[in-house]
Amino acid sequence: MRSHTTTALYVVLMAAVIVAIDVLFFQNRFWERLTVNVGIVLVFAAFYFRFLKHP
């Protein structure tokens, strides 16, 4: 159960970071916003698989 909670909180944190950066910096720029969002997701995924995922 702890693993599911940790993963859920991690996804919520990722979504909060994406929304905050979108609102603060990229309100009317679609392609820049999309590029940065994909980059954020890739960084979060790399961090998750490196440090949080248990074998």
Domain extents in the chain? 2-52
41 Cβ neighbours under 8 A, 6+ residues apart: 14, 18
Alpha-carbon separation of residue 5 from 9, 18, 44 (angstroms): 6, 20, 16
Whole-structure pTM value: 0.84
Longest dimension (CA), the chain: 42
The first and second tokens of residue 44, run together, are 């979060």
pLDDT at residue 18, as a whole number: 96
Phi-psi domain of 29 (left: phi exceeds 0; alpha: psi -120 through 50; beta: other): beta
pLDDT (0 to 100) of residue 3: 78
pLDDT in tens, 1-54: 677 888 899 999 999 999 999 999 988 999 999 999 999 999 999 998 888 776
**What pLDDT is attached to residue 7?**
87
